[in-house]
Structure 1
Amino acid sequence: MSGDDLSTEAAPPDVRHLFEAYRGSLPPEGRPDLAGAFSFGDTPALADTLADLVCVGEKTATAEAKWTVEAAGEPLPEPGDHWVVLDGDGEPRCVIRTERVEVVPFVDVTPDHAAAEGESDGSLASWRLAHVRYYQRTLPEGRSFDPEMPVVCERFRVVYRA
Protein backbone atom coordinates (compact mmCIF):
# COMPACT_ATOMS: atom_id res chain seq x y z
CA MET A 1 0.00 0.00 0.00
CA SER A 2 1.27 3.40 -0.73
CA GLY A 3 -0.41 6.62 -0.01
CA ASP A 4 -0.10 10.23 0.88
CA ASP A 5 0.67 10.94 4.51
CA LEU A 6 -2.00 13.53 5.20
CA SER A 7 -3.33 15.35 8.16
CA THR A 8 -7.10 15.42 8.03
CA GLU A 9 -6.97 19.18 7.36
CA ALA A 10 -4.54 18.76 4.43
CA ALA A 11 -6.60 16.03 2.75
CA PRO A 12 -8.67 16.77 -0.36
CA PRO A 13 -12.23 17.82 0.54
CA ASP A 14 -13.88 14.53 -0.46
CA VAL A 15 -11.35 12.49 1.56
CA ARG A 16 -11.70 14.87 4.50
CA HIS A 17 -15.51 14.65 4.34
CA LEU A 18 -15.52 10.83 4.43
CA PHE A 19 -12.93 10.64 7.19
CA GLU A 20 -14.67 13.27 9.30
CA ALA A 21 -17.97 11.39 8.90
CA TYR A 22 -16.19 8.31 10.25
CA ARG A 23 -14.59 10.24 13.11
CA GLY A 24 -17.97 11.76 13.96
CA SER A 25 -19.39 8.28 14.46
CA LEU A 26 -16.89 7.66 17.28
CA PRO A 27 -16.74 8.94 20.87
CA PRO A 28 -14.66 12.15 21.09
CA GLU A 29 -11.90 10.44 23.11
CA GLY A 30 -11.47 7.67 20.51
CA ARG A 31 -11.13 9.65 17.30
CA PRO A 32 -8.06 8.63 15.26
CA ASP A 33 -5.94 10.70 12.93
CA LEU A 34 -5.78 10.07 9.19
CA ALA A 35 -2.60 8.24 8.13
CA GLY A 36 -3.27 8.86 4.44
CA ALA A 37 -5.36 8.18 1.36
CA PHE A 38 -4.40 5.80 -1.42
CA SER A 39 -5.60 3.42 -4.09
CA PHE A 40 -4.54 -0.21 -4.35
CA GLY A 41 -2.78 -1.36 -7.51
CA ASP A 42 -1.04 0.53 -10.26
CA THR A 43 -3.84 1.22 -12.76
CA PRO A 44 -7.28 2.81 -12.40
CA ALA A 45 -8.98 -0.47 -13.40
CA LEU A 46 -7.05 -2.43 -10.78
CA ALA A 47 -7.73 0.26 -8.18
CA ASP A 48 -11.47 -0.04 -8.88
CA THR A 49 -11.43 -3.84 -8.65
CA LEU A 50 -9.43 -3.89 -5.44
CA ALA A 51 -11.46 -1.10 -3.80
CA ASP A 52 -14.62 -3.10 -4.57
CA LEU A 53 -13.08 -6.20 -2.94
CA VAL A 54 -12.12 -4.18 0.13
CA CYS A 55 -15.56 -2.60 0.47
CA VAL A 56 -17.36 -5.95 0.40
CA GLY A 57 -14.89 -7.49 2.86
CA GLU A 58 -13.23 -9.96 0.49
CA LYS A 59 -9.86 -8.18 0.59
CA THR A 60 -8.51 -7.76 4.12
CA ALA A 61 -4.78 -7.78 3.39
CA THR A 62 -2.19 -6.29 1.09
CA ALA A 63 1.51 -6.78 0.40
CA GLU A 64 3.78 -4.03 -0.87
CA ALA A 65 7.48 -4.36 -1.57
CA LYS A 66 9.35 -2.70 1.29
CA TRP A 67 11.74 -1.24 -1.28
CA THR A 68 8.84 0.62 -2.90
CA VAL A 69 7.70 2.07 0.42
CA GLU A 70 11.25 3.16 1.23
CA ALA A 71 11.82 4.71 -2.23
CA ALA A 72 8.66 6.77 -1.79
CA GLY A 73 9.97 8.04 1.55
CA GLU A 74 6.91 6.70 3.35
CA PRO A 75 6.87 5.16 6.80
CA LEU A 76 5.73 1.57 7.15
CA PRO A 77 2.09 1.25 8.16
CA GLU A 78 1.47 0.55 11.83
CA PRO A 79 -1.37 -1.14 13.68
CA GLY A 80 -4.01 1.47 14.44
CA ASP A 81 -3.34 3.56 11.31
CA HIS A 82 -6.48 4.71 9.52
CA TRP A 83 -6.50 5.11 5.74
CA VAL A 84 -9.03 6.25 3.16
CA VAL A 85 -9.18 3.84 0.21
CA LEU A 86 -9.65 5.54 -3.17
CA ASP A 87 -10.99 4.04 -6.37
CA GLY A 88 -9.40 4.41 -9.81
CA ASP A 89 -10.87 7.91 -10.20
CA GLY A 90 -9.45 9.01 -6.87
CA GLU A 91 -12.87 8.94 -5.19
CA PRO A 92 -12.96 7.85 -1.53
CA ARG A 93 -14.69 4.52 -0.99
CA CYS A 94 -14.07 3.50 2.62
CA VAL A 95 -11.91 3.87 5.70
CA ILE A 96 -9.71 0.97 6.79
CA ARG A 97 -7.78 0.39 10.00
CA THR A 98 -4.43 -1.40 9.94
CA GLU A 99 -4.61 -4.37 12.27
CA ARG A 100 -1.25 -6.10 11.80
CA VAL A 101 1.98 -5.49 9.88
CA GLU A 102 4.76 -7.98 9.26
CA VAL A 103 7.79 -7.70 6.96
CA VAL A 104 8.78 -11.06 5.47
CA PRO A 105 10.70 -12.28 2.42
CA PHE A 106 8.46 -12.75 -0.62
CA VAL A 107 8.99 -16.53 -0.47
CA ASP A 108 7.68 -16.59 3.11
CA VAL A 109 4.30 -14.96 2.42
CA THR A 110 1.79 -17.48 3.74
CA PRO A 111 -1.17 -19.11 2.01
CA ASP A 112 -3.38 -17.46 4.66
CA HIS A 113 -2.10 -14.01 3.73
CA ALA A 114 -2.53 -14.71 0.00
CA ALA A 115 -6.12 -15.81 0.61
CA ALA A 116 -6.82 -12.70 2.72
CA GLU A 117 -5.84 -10.52 -0.23
CA GLY A 118 -9.09 -11.73 -1.83
CA GLU A 119 -7.80 -11.78 -5.38
CA SER A 120 -8.01 -14.39 -8.15
CA ASP A 121 -8.67 -17.89 -6.80
CA GLY A 122 -7.16 -17.10 -3.38
CA SER A 123 -4.31 -19.58 -3.75
CA LEU A 124 -0.71 -18.85 -2.89
CA ALA A 125 0.32 -19.87 -6.43
CA SER A 126 -1.97 -17.31 -8.08
CA TRP A 127 -0.98 -14.67 -5.53
CA ARG A 128 2.70 -15.25 -6.30
CA LEU A 129 2.18 -15.07 -10.05
CA ALA A 130 0.18 -11.83 -9.86
CA HIS A 131 2.54 -10.21 -7.37
CA VAL A 132 5.72 -11.08 -9.26
CA ARG A 133 4.18 -9.28 -12.24
CA TYR A 134 3.05 -6.37 -10.07
CA TYR A 135 6.45 -5.97 -8.42
CA GLN A 136 8.20 -6.17 -11.80
CA ARG A 137 6.09 -3.18 -12.89
CA THR A 138 6.35 -1.15 -9.70
CA LEU A 139 9.70 -1.71 -8.02
CA PRO A 140 11.85 1.42 -7.85
CA GLU A 141 14.57 2.01 -10.40
CA GLY A 142 17.65 -0.06 -9.65
CA ARG A 143 15.64 -2.84 -8.00
CA SER A 144 14.41 -6.04 -9.60
CA PHE A 145 12.23 -8.83 -8.32
CA ASP A 146 13.98 -11.17 -5.91
CA PRO A 147 12.23 -14.04 -4.10
CA GLU A 148 14.05 -12.94 -0.92
CA MET A 149 13.02 -9.28 -1.17
CA PRO A 150 11.21 -7.88 1.87
CA VAL A 151 7.45 -7.56 1.57
CA VAL A 152 5.26 -5.54 3.93
CA CYS A 153 2.30 -7.81 4.70
CA GLU A 154 -0.51 -5.75 6.14
CA ARG A 155 -3.86 -6.90 7.53
CA PHE A 156 -6.69 -4.40 7.80
CA ARG A 157 -10.41 -4.13 8.29
CA VAL A 158 -13.03 -1.76 6.95
CA VAL A 159 -14.30 0.52 9.68
CA TYR A 160 -16.45 2.87 7.57
CA ARG A 161 -17.96 2.81 4.08
CA ALA A 162 -18.82 5.76 1.86
Structure 2
Amino acid sequence: MDDIEAFWQRAQQHADLAQVSSYTGVNPLAVLRPPAWGFGATPEQADELLGLVLAGDKTATASALWDYESEGEEVPSEGTLGIVVDGSGTPRALVVTTRVRVVPFDEVDAAHARAEGEGDLTLEYWRRVHEDFFTRHASHDRGFVRDMPVVLEELRVLHAE
Protein backbone atom coordinates (compact mmCIF):
# COMPACT_ATOMS: atom_id res chain seq x y z
CA MET A 1 0.00 0.00 0.00
CA ASP A 2 1.42 3.40 -0.93
CA ASP A 3 1.64 6.40 1.43
CA ILE A 4 -1.35 8.17 -0.08
CA GLU A 5 -3.59 5.11 0.18
CA ALA A 6 -2.51 4.56 3.80
CA PHE A 7 -3.21 8.23 4.59
CA TRP A 8 -6.64 7.96 2.94
CA GLN A 9 -7.53 4.95 5.07
CA ARG A 10 -6.52 6.81 8.26
CA ALA A 11 -8.31 9.98 7.15
CA GLN A 12 -11.52 8.06 6.44
CA GLN A 13 -11.49 6.80 10.02
CA HIS A 14 -10.76 10.21 11.58
CA ALA A 15 -12.54 12.70 9.31
CA ASP A 16 -16.25 13.18 9.77
CA LEU A 17 -17.16 12.48 6.15
CA ALA A 18 -20.82 12.21 7.12
CA GLN A 19 -20.72 16.01 7.55
CA VAL A 20 -19.76 16.42 3.89
CA SER A 21 -22.93 16.58 1.84
CA SER A 22 -23.85 13.94 -0.70
CA TYR A 23 -26.81 14.06 -3.04
CA THR A 24 -28.04 10.47 -3.13
CA GLY A 25 -27.43 7.04 -1.70
CA VAL A 26 -24.15 5.90 -0.21
CA ASN A 27 -21.77 8.77 0.25
CA PRO A 28 -19.11 8.18 -2.43
CA LEU A 29 -16.70 10.26 -0.36
CA ALA A 30 -16.36 7.33 1.98
CA VAL A 31 -15.42 4.98 -0.86
CA LEU A 32 -13.47 6.76 -3.60
CA ARG A 33 -9.98 8.03 -2.84
CA PRO A 34 -9.73 11.72 -3.74
CA PRO A 35 -6.88 13.08 -5.85
CA ALA A 36 -3.62 14.04 -4.16
CA TRP A 37 -2.09 17.42 -4.98
CA GLY A 38 0.24 20.05 -3.59
CA PHE A 39 0.03 23.82 -3.45
CA GLY A 40 2.20 26.00 -5.67
CA ALA A 41 4.70 24.97 -8.32
CA THR A 42 7.76 24.03 -6.26
CA PRO A 43 8.42 21.80 -3.25
CA GLU A 44 9.21 24.92 -1.20
CA GLN A 45 5.88 26.53 -2.11
CA ALA A 46 4.05 23.28 -1.34
CA ASP A 47 5.61 23.16 2.14
CA GLU A 48 5.07 26.85 2.89
CA LEU A 49 1.42 26.93 1.80
CA LEU A 50 0.60 23.60 3.42
CA GLY A 51 2.09 24.95 6.66
CA LEU A 52 -0.35 27.87 6.49
CA VAL A 53 -3.24 25.44 5.97
CA LEU A 54 -2.19 23.26 8.90
CA ALA A 55 -1.83 26.34 11.12
CA GLY A 56 -5.38 27.42 10.18
CA ASP A 57 -4.16 30.61 8.47
CA LYS A 58 -4.91 29.54 4.88
CA THR A 59 -8.54 28.64 4.19
CA ALA A 60 -8.64 29.55 0.50
CA THR A 61 -6.64 29.21 -2.69
CA ALA A 62 -6.72 30.49 -6.25
CA SER A 63 -5.96 28.88 -9.61
CA ALA A 64 -6.09 30.00 -13.22
CA LEU A 65 -9.18 28.63 -14.93
CA TRP A 66 -7.13 28.38 -18.14
CA ASP A 67 -4.80 25.89 -16.40
CA TYR A 68 -7.74 23.59 -15.64
CA GLU A 69 -8.86 23.86 -19.26
CA SER A 70 -5.41 23.22 -20.73
CA GLU A 71 -4.89 20.18 -18.49
CA GLY A 72 -8.38 18.77 -19.15
CA GLU A 73 -9.23 18.86 -15.45
CA GLU A 74 -12.58 19.65 -13.91
CA VAL A 75 -12.88 22.77 -11.78
CA PRO A 76 -13.46 21.81 -8.13
CA SER A 77 -16.98 22.16 -6.81
CA GLU A 78 -18.46 22.38 -3.36
CA GLY A 79 -17.86 19.06 -1.61
CA THR A 80 -14.75 18.12 -3.62
CA LEU A 81 -12.21 16.32 -1.46
CA GLY A 82 -8.45 16.49 -1.90
CA ILE A 83 -5.42 14.98 -0.23
CA VAL A 84 -2.83 17.72 0.13
CA VAL A 85 0.79 16.61 -0.06
CA ASP A 86 3.91 18.41 1.11
CA GLY A 87 6.91 19.22 -1.07
CA SER A 88 8.22 15.65 -0.84
CA GLY A 89 4.87 14.14 -1.86
CA THR A 90 3.93 12.99 1.65
CA PRO A 91 0.17 13.27 2.31
CA ARG A 92 -0.53 15.67 5.17
CA ALA A 93 -4.15 16.86 5.02
CA LEU A 94 -7.57 15.88 3.77
CA VAL A 95 -9.49 19.00 2.72
CA VAL A 96 -12.98 19.65 1.40
CA THR A 97 -13.92 22.50 -0.90
CA THR A 98 -16.65 24.55 0.76
CA ARG A 99 -17.13 27.26 -1.88
CA VAL A 100 -16.00 27.95 -5.44
CA ARG A 101 -16.24 31.14 -7.48
CA VAL A 102 -14.76 32.01 -10.85
CA VAL A 103 -14.01 35.72 -11.19
CA PRO A 104 -11.72 37.91 -13.27
CA PHE A 105 -8.28 38.34 -11.67
CA ASP A 106 -8.83 42.08 -11.21
CA GLU A 107 -12.12 41.44 -9.35
CA VAL A 108 -10.69 39.19 -6.62
CA ASP A 109 -11.68 40.84 -3.34
CA ALA A 110 -9.77 41.65 -0.16
CA ALA A 111 -11.69 39.02 1.84
CA HIS A 112 -10.39 36.28 -0.44
CA ALA A 113 -6.84 37.67 -0.27
CA ARG A 114 -7.00 37.54 3.55
CA ALA A 115 -8.40 33.99 3.50
CA GLU A 116 -5.38 32.83 1.48
CA GLY A 117 -3.31 33.66 4.57
CA GLU A 118 -0.16 34.68 2.70
CA GLY A 119 2.19 37.61 3.18
CA ASP A 120 0.72 40.75 4.66
CA LEU A 121 -2.86 39.57 3.89
CA THR A 122 -3.62 42.58 1.68
CA LEU A 123 -5.22 42.52 -1.74
CA GLU A 124 -2.21 44.40 -3.14
CA TYR A 125 0.16 41.67 -1.91
CA TRP A 126 -2.16 38.94 -3.23
CA ARG A 127 -2.30 40.56 -6.68
CA ARG A 128 1.47 41.02 -6.86
CA VAL A 129 2.41 37.45 -5.93
CA HIS A 130 -0.39 35.83 -7.93
CA GLU A 131 0.39 37.85 -11.06
CA ASP A 132 3.97 36.64 -10.74
CA PHE A 133 2.86 33.05 -10.10
CA PHE A 134 0.34 32.99 -12.98
CA THR A 135 2.95 34.51 -15.30
CA ARG A 136 5.79 32.12 -14.39
CA HIS A 137 3.94 28.85 -13.81
CA ALA A 138 1.01 28.76 -16.23
CA SER A 139 0.31 25.44 -17.94
CA HIS A 140 -1.66 27.26 -20.65
CA ASP A 141 -0.31 29.43 -23.46
CA ARG A 142 -2.46 32.56 -23.03
CA GLY A 143 -0.12 34.40 -20.67
CA PHE A 144 -1.24 36.61 -17.82
CA VAL A 145 -3.95 39.22 -18.34
CA ARG A 146 -5.58 41.30 -15.64
CA ASP A 147 -9.08 40.02 -16.43
CA MET A 148 -8.18 36.34 -16.80
CA PRO A 149 -10.64 33.99 -15.05
CA VAL A 150 -9.46 32.80 -11.65
CA VAL A 151 -10.95 29.90 -9.66
CA LEU A 152 -11.33 30.97 -6.02
CA GLU A 153 -11.70 27.98 -3.74
CA GLU A 154 -12.46 27.95 -0.02
CA LEU A 155 -11.22 24.91 1.90
CA ARG A 156 -11.79 23.23 5.25
CA VAL A 157 -9.39 20.70 6.77
CA LEU A 158 -11.10 17.44 7.67
CA HIS A 159 -8.01 15.55 8.83
CA ALA A 160 -4.34 16.44 9.18
CA GLU A 161 -1.18 14.60 10.16
Structure 1 length-normalised TM: 0.87
1:1-20 to structure 2, matched below 5 A, reads 13-20=2-9
Confirm or deny: 8 A CA contact 1:68 1:138 kept in the other structure: no
**Matched residue count:** 151
Q: What secondary structure, in the 3-state scheme, does the structure 2 residue paired with 1:85 have?
A: strand
Give the C-alpha shift of residue 69 in structure 1: 1.1
User: What is the letter of the counterpart of residue 108 of structure 1?
Assistant: E
Across the aligned residues of Structure 1 and Structure 2, the Cα RMSD in angstroms comes to: 1.7
1:80 aligns with 2:79: yes
Confirm or deny: 8 A CA contact 2:43 2:87 kept in the other structure: yes
| Aligned match of 2:139 | 140
Distance 2:58 2:110 in 1: 14
- The structure 1 segments of at least 4 consecutive aligned residues displaced by more than 4 Å after TM superposition are 26-31
Distance 1:76 1:151 in 2: 11
Q: What secondary structure, in the 3-state scheme, does the structure 2 residue paired with 1:156 have?
A: strand
The percent of aligned pairs where both chains have the same amino acid is 39
Query: How big is each residue's C-alpha offset from its partner over 1:88-109, in whole Å with a ceiling of 9 and x where there is no partner?
Result: 1111111101000000000111
Confirm or deny: 8 A CA contact 2:37 2:82 kept in the other structure: yes
Give the C-alpha shift of residue 27 in structure 1: 7.1
Could you tell me which runs of 5 or more consecutive residues in structure 1 were left unpaired when the two chains were aligned: 1-11
| Aligned match of 1:21 | 10
Query: How big is each residue's C-alpha offset from its partner over 1:60-80, in whole Å with a ceiling of 9 and x where there is no partner?
Result: 000000001111111000111
1:50 aligns with 2:49: yes
Could you tell me which runs of 5 or more consecutive residues in structure 2 were left unpaired when the two chains were aligned: 19-25
Structure 2 length-normalised TM: 0.88
